[in-house]
Amino acid sequence: MTQKTKHTSDFRPLDVQAIREDFPIFANTPPLAFLDSAASTQTPRPVVEAMDAYYDTYRSNIHRGVYRISEEATDQYEKARQKVAQLINAPRTSQVVFTRNTTESINLVAYSWGSPNIQQGDEIVLTDLEHHSNLVPWQLLAQRTGATLRFLEITDEGLLDFTQLRDVLSPKTKLVAITHVSNVLGTITPIQSIIDAAHTAGAKVIVDAAQSVPHFHVDVQQLDCDFLAFSGHKMCGPTGVGVLYGKLELLEEMPPFLGGGSMIRSVERDISTYADVPAKFEAGTPSIAEAIGLGAAVDYLTQAGLASIHVHEQELLKYAHERLQEIEGITIYGPAPHQKAGVISFNIEGIHPHDVAGILDTHNVAIRAGHHCAQPLMKKLDVIATARASFYLYNTFEDIDRLYEGLQKAQNLMTRRSK
């Protein structure tokens, strides 16, 4: 089945108050200023309801069931796959493989594509921006095969140094593994140019889209990426379900990742033949409820409009930059708001980021502090850790005001006697 491109202009301003009513967590008092969606988002009622409907009315295993509720479960599970395929404009629904999360998707590629295709002397190109999930699997692959990792560096502004690309890419380059949006700096990478350049050099490209697919429209056919990975729990879906998109000819020639039930065509004592994609990569009972929940999350985000979500986040980001810059001794890492997604990483002179997050927590403002699973980037920025606020469709300008007020209180508390 081939799908046509949709997602024409879906822009209309977000009704944030109406959206917040879909998230029961925001009804609590005092209200939670949740500024950690880059780690994991909140869940709207329709997503939980879709999973409840599975558990309450047609709970059963998928595939092979010859009774009605099993057919219903299979149908809903596959409908979720279809929704995800439409969201990223995959040419075929079968190119969407359900995994546990982005990390598992990337590991799947590192084993099933990497092992047969990467040899000693080959090079894998990464960037300084990578999350550990798009770094460690390639380190392991390099150790197994004798391949070498090379890195595109970032500029002082936190942008990728594009001028290095020509030096880093060579006939030895077999793969470019790159994030679409940095989870620490928010930097939106020039993914299209990098994919084009990598293909010209004869390399395949895997995109870590964990921080992009939830926030703006990503079209795999337009990008022409070979693989793309993202997680359900960062896009209003439940934990425990993620996605790997791959080009069909690549997925078809790759050996399975995990062996077991569901991924086989026939099994004999010594040898098996495998099912077609995507079943080949979905061994064992998958996260059925979670996949159905992810389908509902896709519906939810599509209804709100990804273009509208992106615009809303940009407005929040600009406002956050303005307010936070008023704070004495603050360092904001990464590029200007228009070059990044809804993430703002910062440090305040003299206050450990853990203390920043700890004090904000006492004011019911949730942000993250630490290395954000990006230790090489921390080293590059010459910091041990940062505080990070990140935004999504349910955040308000008031959330940012509360962040600002909390930071002022932290500063008063921690620097009271040294002034």
Partner 1 sequence: MNIYQEELLDHYENPSNYGTLPNPDISHEEDNPLCGDKIRIDLIVEDDIIKEVRFSGHGCTISLAAASMLTEEIVGKSLEEVKKLSRDDILDMVGIPLGPVRVKCALLALKVLKAGAYGIKGWPGEEDE
- Positions that interact with partner 1 (CB under 8 A): 352-355, 358-359, 362, 369-371, 378, 384-385, 413-414, 417-418
Measure the CA–CA gap between 284 and 293, rounded to whole angstroms: 19
Q: By the 8 A CB rule, do 118 and 141 touch? A: yes
**Residue 248: how many CB atoms within 10 A of its CB?**
13
Which CB, 139 or 302, lies closer to partner 1?
139
What's the token pair of residue 355? Answer: 């203390």
Residue 225 annotated to the active site: no
Residue 388 beta carbon to partner 1: minimum distance, rounded to whole angstroms: 13
* DSSP three-state, residue 308: helix
Measure the CA–CA gap between 122 and 128, rounded to whole angstroms: 19
What ranges in 160-232 are assigned the alpha helix state H?
165-168, 191-200, 220-223
Polymer length in residues for the chain: 419
Residue 361 beta carbon to partner 1: minimum distance, rounded to whole angstroms: 9
Residue 410 beta carbon to partner 1: minimum distance, rounded to whole angstroms: 9
Q: In which element (H, E) is residue 98 found?
A: strand 96-99
User: How far is residue 258 from each of residues 34, 232, 293, 315, measured CA to CA in Å?
Assistant: 37, 21, 24, 43
Catalytic residue, candidates 264, 311, 366, 373: 373
> What burial letters (b/e) apply to 214-228, b meaning 16+ CB within 10 Å?
bbbbbebeebebbbb
Which CB, 116 or 358, lies closer to partner 1?
358
Rg (C-alpha) for the chain, rounded Å, is 22
Which CB, 4 or 30, lies closer to partner 1?
30
Q: By the 8 A CB rule, do 89 and 114 touch? A: no
Residue 329 beta carbon to partner 1: minimum distance, rounded to whole angstroms: 16
Residue 370 beta carbon to partner 1: minimum distance, rounded to whole angstroms: 5
Strands 272-274 and 264-267: antiparallel
Instruction: Please list, in sequence order, all residues whose beta carbon lies within 8 angstroms of the beta carbon of residue 39, skipping any fewer than 6 positions away.
Output: 234, 368, 390
* DSSP three-state, residue 311: helix
Residue 354 beta carbon to partner 1: minimum distance, rounded to whole angstroms: 4
Which CB, 164 or 364, lies closer to partner 1?
364
* DSSP three-state, residue 224: coil
Measure the CA–CA gap between 103 and 98, rounded to whole angstroms: 12
Q: Which residues are catalytic?
A: 373
